Chains A and B, each alone.
Chain A
Amino acid sequence: MITGSFDYLAPATLDETVTLLAQHGADAKLLAGGHSLIPAMKLRQTTPSLLIDVQNIHALRGIQVNTDALTIGAMTTHADIEYDDRLRARIPLLPQAAQIISDPLIRNRGTFGGALAQAEPEGDWPAVALALDTNIVATSATGRRTIPVTNFFLDTHTTALTPDEVLCAVEITIPPAHAHMMYRKRTHPANGYALVGVAVVATFTDDGTCDTCRIGITGAGRHPVRAVASEHLLVGQHWTAELIAAAAAACAGESLEFAGDRFASAVFRAHLLVVDVKRTLHELMEAAHANLRHMQ
């Protein structure tokens, strides 16, 4: 397991980094937590001539919580998110998802920004980011731009980032305090990614009507997507078992190209997606009803 030879630089600032990227383009790779890149290099599936290690850029790491939104630096680790009490209070979905990513060793090194930029079709964070109102902040030598997460994942391992851009932060709107949220993951028995992952954030009005609902799904296609058709069925409605069943079934109609493997075929994944969406929505509905009873 020996990589090919490569140059290694560890700039101290974002400016230096984007300059290097502008110079070297696709020959360079950014090194964040390294949990996707290093194994691929050891297997010589990728042989970059330059590694730009961004771990010395302290501005890239950390969680900033404001009144309505929060900003998570790209180099913030899964463990940072898992153990952040402010997140636990404001967006519990994030620490809940963080704690079921792979194992503690990986969570201590793997990064939030790295995982999103990797655009793993079975990754956990993409589904969660899609279920939240998320914007990706990217910087290059020519400037800074914000990409809504719904436009971010284009294909397997392919995002809207250009080769000269650095994903430097993620901005997430904090859902209302009464929002219900959950990430349900069915862990792949070999690689530990999501065989199927469903993240849902929903709000309900005082009479129990669904006000907003965003569903992010992963593991089910070429890249993580929002289940828009399902969301449409659910918003503005009182959720019932029948409605949930219809919404879950609508997921399978998202023209997803299920990528099966010998652990779970495409047909089985399509089935599991419907079951898991249904079960997730049921749990949220029950939580919302419980909340409603509590308020009454």
Chain B
Amino acid sequence: MTNPPKDIQRPHQYVGRAVTRHEDIRHVIGQGRFTSDITPAHPLYATILRSPHAHARICSIDATAAHQLAGVVAIYTGADLQDHIEPLPCNWILPGMHVPTQHALAVATVRFHGEGVAIVIAESPATARDALARIQVIYEPLPAVTNVVAAAQPEAPKVHDDLPNNITYSFPIQGGDYNYATQHADVRVHQKLINQNVVPSALEPRAVLAEYHAGTGHLTLHSSTQAPHTIKRMLAGVLRFPEHHIRVIAPDVGGGFGAKLHLYPEEVLCAFCAQALQRPIKWTATRSEDFLATNHGRDHEQEVEITALRDGTITGLKATLYANLGAYLSGMAPGIPAVNCGSMLTGVYHIPNVEILVHGVLTHTARVDTYRGAGRPEATYLIERAVDLVARELAMDPADVRRKNFIPPDAFPYQGTIPGPQYDSGNYERNLDKALMLVDYVHLRQQQEELRHQGRYLGIGLCTYTEFTGIGRGAFHDMVGFQHGGWEYARVLVHPTGKVTVFSGIADHGQGHKTSFAQIAADALGLPLKDIDIVQGDTAQVPFGNGTFNSRSMPVGGTAIHLCCDRIIAKAKRIAAHTLHVQPHDLDYTNGCFRVCHSHEKRQEATEASHMIAHTVRNDQHELSFIEVARLAHFIPSYPPDLEPGLDEQLFHEPPNMTYPFGTYVAVVEVDPETGDVVWQRLVAVDDCGRIINPLLARGQVHGGVAQGLGQALLEGTHYHDDGTLASTNWMSYAFPRATHIPAIETDHTITPTPHNPLGVKGLGEAATIATPPALVNAIVDALAPFGVRHIDMPVSAERIWSAIQLAQRGADS
């Protein structure tokens, strides 16, 4: 084994290559393993009886008839469990805010349509479902409020008796002097914006399998979740169960989009019942339950005012946000509008005078929390619509207004006017230029003008965004009350044959980490991709982690793996050096081979120790393959005094700060004013997420994000009846983007590495969901400019377009 084995032949670099997904074949041939695919022996099945009212007092619950149904094993109500299960926690508590109590099942009062009232455990799913109809609940309906601004009014029905005005917090963010800006501005533009309540709609609804082993006292929970370690920690608290006896497994997870990031009542209830009944408990949400009782997203009403000089310089921004948090606080709910949205409202612009007030409001809806973008879409929509309104007011090209106000490249790291972390790196103008060139902007504007003369209405909409990914560091979390680690854990284990298992605390739920993480590890270790396996989503295999959210997988999780691989190479080098009788710094490691540098080929004198390993390495040997070192790490007869056997490293990586990806999206639409039809002609997405690990997966993230952004812009939105019950409870009544709604998407990148991690990577997973809605709405409003239409709220339906034209024309006629 003097030469590197042939199987070490590998391309120089995997990072940056469009490697196809390692995961695909498993799903294509139906070998995926999702929570509901797993059925241990003798399972029981759970169903949840849910409130048909948005707000009601529970007068009585009579489960006698349900108990009589053959196969029903147990039924618990909120009153039965309240002494055994602690309230569900919220992990993001802003200074001084009020946190209402959420029980796993409602006790005495239900506060949203779909809130759990009882859990039925039965021998079959059908029996469990049949039993629901036999539970008699007498409710006294109470007035409900689902609109966020209405809920914040003094006369609104109270969601919780101990919160008199439904406002859990009012969070001010200020910088400069907005009053000064208004006094010295040439123009002042005001607009009310609605960022509607949407349903994240993962393909796989939530599902839980809970198993309790009486012999060991261990609890194992399979859950369709993005954050198994967080669930483990919180389960321990809520169930008062020793955390070291809990194992949480997120097997294949069919999407999450932020909605599967937090602890849910069903996880707690199934775990409790598994212990109480000593049988495995399975629960799978129906699609209707997913609409009713899985977290919703967005749901802001915003007032924005922006001041500018005649030359397009933006001088001030004032924003008042009313954010619906739902009837109870989900894990990160308070921080999303206050911090994720509030701190990002100035976007890519330097705005010297800022005055922001965010109200976090409770209403009688399902909980509202993280949904792909989580606050940054709400911020970006506000500022990008506002900048377009300034351009309209000043009769300037929207691209020019943006360019005029961009934070310049030499201002990074950039500390904005308002308190918050520094933007790490950026070159917004270069990115905008690339997008405008790709879309042929100058020509498009000419074409728009020509078509208008023919009675055709082309619209061109821009969005230049930035956002933050990889939330950290701990000091920032502490400052804003976020009880969550920003670090990520990685362990790199080298087997004696040189194969490598990488363990990450990030939890894949469709992103393709088995591929992208393997690319990072393969490059860092100088090994072929096929020699790397990635393990995630099991707290027994990966002891620590913070899960997948905030596009942190690559910048934080990928960096942790990269750094951990460096440690492996450092240790492997010591083993190799010891074996080759040189110092570690005398070795180069390239292409899977440790070689003695030419300048250090002089060998140490053969010692007794080296004589002892003569059977392993010849005295004239100058190099060792990684595989050989892996073997030596386990079988070397003598180790240097301070070196342990094995090649197995772990670390916690705390990011020094967040990374700020950015980009330009250009939407081109043609609107038919007679019918309100929007024909989406082009979408150009030029993102800058620093260095790209896998362009294929990056493109996939953009495509998916555009689809969801389009969904919010044109189609989606919950609808509530006057009594507060949800009217849109399935995809027949909630418009979700389908393949035919999605246009061809043109993607490209500029590359501005972040200084905060050695890979130079920023997150990309949420960018398109953030950038697409404003680009699209700006395009539609731009198309309708000749009619005098200034704004249309999302979802921009054909009818809203048609009505806006009618209204504008009536206004013009009168």
Residue ranges of A at the interface with B (Cβ–Cβ < 8 Å): 1-2, 4-5, 39, 43-44, 103, 186-187, 189-192, 262-265, 268, 271-272, 275
- Nearest 8 pairs between A and B by C-beta? A189-B735, A190-B735, A2-B129, A268-B799, A191-B732, A1-B286, A2-B126, A189-B715
Q: Which of B125, B733, B738 contacts A2 (CB 8 A)?
A: B125
Closest residue on chain A to residue B289 by CB atoms: A1
Judge if B736 is at the interface, Cβ distance under 8 Å. yes
Judge if B417 is at the interface, Cβ distance under 8 Å. no
Chain A proximity mask over B723-757: 1 for CB below 8 Å, otherwise 0: 00001001111111011110000000000000000
- Tell me whether B798 and A264 are in contact (CB under 8 A): yes
A42 vs chain B, min Cβ distance (A)? 8
Question: How long is the Cα–Cα vector from A17 to B427 in the complex, in angstroms?
Answer: 72
Judge if B514 is at the interface, Cβ distance under 8 Å. no
Q: Which of A1, A192, A262, A268 contacts B802 (CB 8 A)?
A: A268
Closest residue on chain A to residue B205 by CB atoms: A1
Question: How long is the Cα–Cα vector from A192 to B715 in the complex, in angstroms?
Answer: 13
Known A-B contacts: A5-B126, A190-B731. Give 9 more (CB < 8 A): A1-B287, A2-B129, A5-B130, A43-B730, A44-B133, A187-B740, A263-B735, A263-B797, A268-B803
- Tell me whether B675 and A275 are in contact (CB under 8 A): yes
Question: How long is the Cα–Cα vector from A47 to B714 in the complex, in angstroms?
Answer: 36
A39 cross-chain contacts in B, Cβ below 8 A = 732
Question: How long is the Cα–Cα vector from A264 to B740 in the complex, in angstroms?
Answer: 19
Q: Which of B106-138 contact A (CB under 8 A)?
A: 125-126, 129-130, 133
Question: How long is the Cα–Cα vector from A156 to B113 in the complex, in angstroms?
Answer: 28
Question: How long is the Cα–Cα vector from A290 to B808 in the complex, in angstroms?
Answer: 39
Q: Could you say which of A4, A190, A268, A272 has the most chain B C-beta atoms within 10 Å of its C-beta?
A: A190
Chain A proximity mask over B705-716: 1 for CB below 8 Å, otherwise 0: 000000000110
- Tell me whether B674 and A275 are in contact (CB under 8 A): yes
Question: How long is the Cα–Cα vector from A190 to B288 in the complex, in angstroms?
Answer: 15
> How many residue pairs, one in A and one in B, have C-beta atoms under 8 Å apart?
50
- Asked whether A103 and B733 contact (CB < 8 A) given A263-B797, A275-B675, the answer is no
B432 vs chain A, min Cβ distance (A)? 32
Closest residue on chain B to residue A43 by CB atoms: B288
- Asked whether A264 and B735 contact (CB < 8 A) given A2-B126, A275-B674, the answer is no
B716 vs chain A, min Cβ distance (A)? 9
B310 vs chain A, min Cβ distance (A)? 40
Closest residue on chain A to residue B717 by CB atoms: A262
B434 cross-chain contacts in A, Cβ below 8 A = none
- Tell me whether A189 and B733 are in contact (CB under 8 A): no
A110 vs chain B, min Cβ distance (A)? 15
Q: Which of B714, B719, B741, B802 contacts A271 (CB 8 A)?
A: B802
B739 cross-chain contacts in A, Cβ below 8 A = 103
- Tell me whether B674 and A103 are in contact (CB under 8 A): no
Question: How long is the Cα–Cα vector from A268 to B799 in the complex, in angstroms?
Answer: 7
Q: Which of A44, A186, A190 contacts B733 (CB 8 A)?
A: A190
A39 vs chain B, min Cβ distance (A)? 8
- Tell me whether B738 and A264 are in contact (CB under 8 A): no
B113 vs chain A, min Cβ distance (A)? 16
- Tell me whether B734 and A264 are in contact (CB under 8 A): no
Closest residue on chain B to residue A272 by CB atoms: B675
B582 vs chain A, min Cβ distance (A)? 65
B289 vs chain A, min Cβ distance (A)? 9
Closest residue on chain B to residue A196 by CB atoms: B675
Question: How long is the Cα–Cα vector from A39 to B741 in the complex, in angstroms?
Answer: 24
Q: Which of B628-678 contact A (CB under 8 A)?
A: 674-675
Some 28 contacts from A to B, beta carbons below 8 A apart, are A1-B286, A2-B125, A2-B126, A2-B129, A5-B130, A39-B732, A43-B288, A43-B730, A44-B133, A103-B738, A186-B675, A189-B714, A189-B741, A189-B797, A190-B715, A190-B731, A190-B732, A190-B735, A190-B736, A191-B732, A262-B727, A264-B797, A264-B798, A264-B799, A268-B799, A268-B802, A268-B803, A275-B674
